[in-house]
């Protein structure tokens, strides 16, 4: 029997990678997006139906779904309208629960490591949350709603750490550091990073994010980190990029333009729950993932 999957935010970064991968696996995939921060180019080669829909508004689908992968959200933590960020993200999530309930579908959705703020590392799912932005608050609300449903339905939230990979160009400033630094270095420019490059991120390749979504379908309801468990400083990241690109460009440091109170200086995920409860372990080591990604960029830009 063909599995029918819905991917919201499917013309965005993670959603498009997921939709294309699901189609390759033989799913019948419907993509929805309101095209707020998306690019149809991301869906090149996609054969399924694409529906224009703002997930926070009513919509009736004639077809039924087996799995809903909910990626749609206002994803820029610095989006200027806080009220819109919160209401679209939370109301959109409630609609997805309604839709999944209508069909008795499994529901997998994207949460974020942003809600750990500047909490202790490695960041554990159960630790106290530190909300730095309205975006983080909207995702925490989604996780709380999900938690109230764990005993009633399949619902899995995935707290992605810092995702990078193909099909993120449309995001502009919020695209990954790897995307931005590569483009500076490709032009022979020194990679610009904040003083003094000691900030740390748990960078995870989008191909691992796709795998985590697939594992989540079979997992017991819960909210899990999707991380590598490895923290990499911005200085280390520049070194890896220099190795892969065969360049020797020294970082150019500049003062952090953001309020330190809203900026995460260190993210590194604890991966135990994801391993135990979803059987998920990231497979892409940073240097290998960057090699794979830069090859894709060279072939596709």
Q: Which positions touch ligand NAD (CB under 6 A)? A: 9, 11-15, 33-38, 54-56, 71-75, 88, 92, 110, 112, 160, 162-163, 171
Ramachandran area for residue 71 (φ above 0: left; ψ -120 to 50: alpha; else beta) = alpha
Per annotation, catalytic residue among 124, 129, 141, 171: 171
Residue 180 or 190: the one with the smaller Cβ distance to ligand NAD is 180
Report the residue closest to ligand NAD, judged by CB: 12
Active site residue 135: yes
Residue 71 or 221: the one with the smaller Cβ distance to ligand NAD is 71
- Distance, in Å, from the CA atom of 61 to the CA atom of 51, rounded to the nearest integer, reads 10
Residues in the chain: 301
Find the DSSP H helices in the chain: 13-24, 82-103, 134-147, 177-186, 206-218, 234-245, 272-273, 286-300
Residue 54 or 242: the one with the smaller Cβ distance to ligand NAD is 54
CB of 178 to ligand NAD, least distance (A): 11
Residue 3 or 175: the one with the smaller Cβ distance to ligand NAD is 175
- Distance, in Å, from the CA atom of 266 to the CA atom of 124, rounded to the nearest integer, reads 14
Q: Which of 224, 214, 157, 158 is nearest to 5 (CA)?
A: 214
CB of 276 to ligand NAD, least distance (A): 21
| Burial per residue of 248-262, b for 16 or more beta-carbon CB atoms within 10 angstroms, e otherwise | ebebebeeeeeeeee
Residue 171 CB-half CA count within 13 A: 26
CB of 1 to ligand NAD, least distance (A): 28
- Distance, in Å, from the CA atom of 244 to the CA atom of 265, rounded to the nearest integer, reads 25
CB of 245 to ligand NAD, least distance (A): 22
Per annotation, catalytic residue among 135, 182, 205, 224: 135
Residue 73 or 210: the one with the smaller Cβ distance to ligand NAD is 73
Lookup result for tokens 């830009």: 301
3-state SS, residue 236: helix
CB of 14 to ligand NAD, least distance (A): 4
Active site residue 224: no
Residues that are catalytic? 135, 171
């Amino acid at each position: 029997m063909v599995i029918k999957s819905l991917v919201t935010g499917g013309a965005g970064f993670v959603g498009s990678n997921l939709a294309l991968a699901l189609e390759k696996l033989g799913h019948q995939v419907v993509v929805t997006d309101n095209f707020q921060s998306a690019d149809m180019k991301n869906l090149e080669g996609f054969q399924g139906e694409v529906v224009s829909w703002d997930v926070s508004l009513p919509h009736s689908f004639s077809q039924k779904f087996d799995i809903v992968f909910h990626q749609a959200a206002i994803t820029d933590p610095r989006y200027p309208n806080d009220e819109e960020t919160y209401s679209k993200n939370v109301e959109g999530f409630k609609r997805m629960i309604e839709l999944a309930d209508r069909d008795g579908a499994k529901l997998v959705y994207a949460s974020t490591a942003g809600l750990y703020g500047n909490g202790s590392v490695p960041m554990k799912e159960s630790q106290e949350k530190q909300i730095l932005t309205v975006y983080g608050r909207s995702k925490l609300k989604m996780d709380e709603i999900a938690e109230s449903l764990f005993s009633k339905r399949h619902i899995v939230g995935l707290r992605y750490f810092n995702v990078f990979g193909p099909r993120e160009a449309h995001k502009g400033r919020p695209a990954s550091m790897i995307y931005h630094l590569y483009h500076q270095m490709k032009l022979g420019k020194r990679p610009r990073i904040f003083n003094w490059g000691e900030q740390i991120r748990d960078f995870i390749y989008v191909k691992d994010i796709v795998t985590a979504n697939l594992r989540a379908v079979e997992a017991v309801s819960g909210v899990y980190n999707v991380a590598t468990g490895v923290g990499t400083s911005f200085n280390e990241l520049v070194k890896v990029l220099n190795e892969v690109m065969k360049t020797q460009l020294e970082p150019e440091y500049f003062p952090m333009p953001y309020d330190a109170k809203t900026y995460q200086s260190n993210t590194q995920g604890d991966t135990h729950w994801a391993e135990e409860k979803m059987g998920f372990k990231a497979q892409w080591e940073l240097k290998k993932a960057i090699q794979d990604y830069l090859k894709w960029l060279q072939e596709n830009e």
